[in-house]
Amino acid sequence: MSLPLEGIKVIEMGQLIAGPFAARILADFGAHVIKIEPPGSGDPLRKWRLLHNGTSVWWAAQSRNKQSVTLDLRQDEAHEVVRQLIKDADILVENFRPGTLEKWGLGWDALSAINPRLIMLRVSGYGQTGPYRDLPGFGVVGEAMGGLRHLSGEPDRTPVRVGVSIGDSLSALHGVIGVLLALRHREQNGGAGQQVDVALYESVFNMMESLIPEHSVFGTVRAPAGSSLPGIAPSNAYRCQDGKYALVAGNGDSIYRRLMERIGRPDLANDPELAHNDGRVRHVARIDAAISTWTAEWPLDEVLTALQAADIPVGRIYDAADIAGDAHYQARDMLLASTLDDGTPVTLPGIIPKLTLTPGQIQSRAPTLGQHTDTVLDGLGIDAPTREAWRRRGLI
C-alpha cells in the first residue's frame, strides 16, 4: 500500500528540533527525506540528552526514515550540490537564522528560479520579516514571547518551563500544516510553489486560546494558576490518600452533577447557582475543596475506578515508566519496537495521525552520519574521484 506522501522529495537543511521534526513527520508518511549535515560533527541533536555509543537515542526517533548526506555549507561547491538537489525537490525544510541561506546564494528567489514548484518551509524564532527577524530565537524564547512561559507554574513563583521543547515541536507541526496546504495549492494552481514562514513565538501564541481577546475586552492579564484551568471549573489536580494526584475534569454541566453526586455532595450538584460554568467559576474554591476532601479519603486507584464508573473524565499523572507499561499505548501502536545500529533494542514513539487507509510507517532506522552521501552524490553525477577530493578537503 502506498503512503500518502510517496514520491515527494524533501531536502532537510535544519538542525536540532523544529525543522527536523517537521521533516520526520513528512518522512513517516512516505516522503523521501535527504538530510544535509555538517561533516565530522553532524546535527548537534546527535549529542543531545542520553547517549548510547556516543549517539543520542533521541536521534533514533527524530531521524528515522531519513537519509544523511554530509556537506559543508560554508563552501561554494556545497552550494552547487544543493542547487542540483533542489532541481527535482518538492520541499526544502530549513531553520537557519533569516538571511543565512540568502548569504549563501540559496534564498527563495534563487531556488524558486531553479525550481518554480519548490515549497520552502522556513522555521525561525521570529519569522522572515519584522523588527526582530535577525535576532537568535530558540524555543525557550519563543515560548516566553508567545505567552506560555508567563502562564506556567504557581502564582508568585518563578515561571517554569514545560519539560520538553514545546515551542520547537509546535512550530514543526504548524510547518507540516503549511507544507500540506502549499502542496494542495500547488496541485490546484498550476504547480506554483511558495514559502511557508513559521515563527516559533507565533506557533506558541496560536495555542493561547482566549488570552488576547480577554485582554482586549476586559484589560485582563491572565496569570499562572498552578494545576487549575482558570475560568473553567472544576478542573484541577486533587491529592489522594496515598499522596498521588488525580486529574479531574468535571467542567461539563452534566458531568459536574454526576461528580458531585459521586462524592456525596448532592447539595452542590443541585445548587442552581452552580448549574453552569460561569457560576461554578465564582465558587471554584468551594467546589475544589469538596473534591479534595473526598479524594483525600481514597488511594488514587480507587478514585480512578469510582469516577470512571460514573463516566467522569479522570486520569493519573504519567511518567515514562507508566507510558512504557500502559496497555492503551500498546494497543494503539504508540510504542514501536526497533533497534539501534548495534542491535540494542529501543522503543520509539508511534506515528500520528492515524490514517485508516494509508498509515505512516517506519521504513528505515535513523542514518549514521553521511551514510548516504556517496549514493546521493553519485545520483547527481558527481564521480568517485571528485567525492574523494572533497572528502580530503572536508567538504563532505
Give the C-alpha separation, 362 to 115, whole Å.
Answer: 29
* Residue 351 · residue 360 · CB < 8 Å: yes
Is 168 an active-site residue? Answer: yes
Q: What DSSP string runs through 321-357?
A: HHHHT-HHHHHTT-EEEEE-TTS-EEEEE--SS--SS
Place of cell 482566549: 210
Place of cell 492515524: 354
* Residue 252 · residue 260 · CB < 8 Å: no
DSSP 371: T
Joined together, the cell numbers standing for residue 375 give: 549514493
Residue of 61, 60, 82 whose CA lies nearest to 71: 82
Joined together, the cell numbers standing for residue 287 give: 467546589
Q: What DSSP string runs through 261-290?
A: HHTT-HHHHS-GGGSSHHHHHHTHHHHHHH
* Residue 178 · residue 92 · CB < 8 Å: no
Give the C-alpha separation, 21 to 392, whole Å.
Answer: 32
Quick check: helix, strand or coil at residue 265? coil
Q: Which of 28, 43, 90, 168 is catalytic?
A: 168
Residues labelled as active-site residues:
168
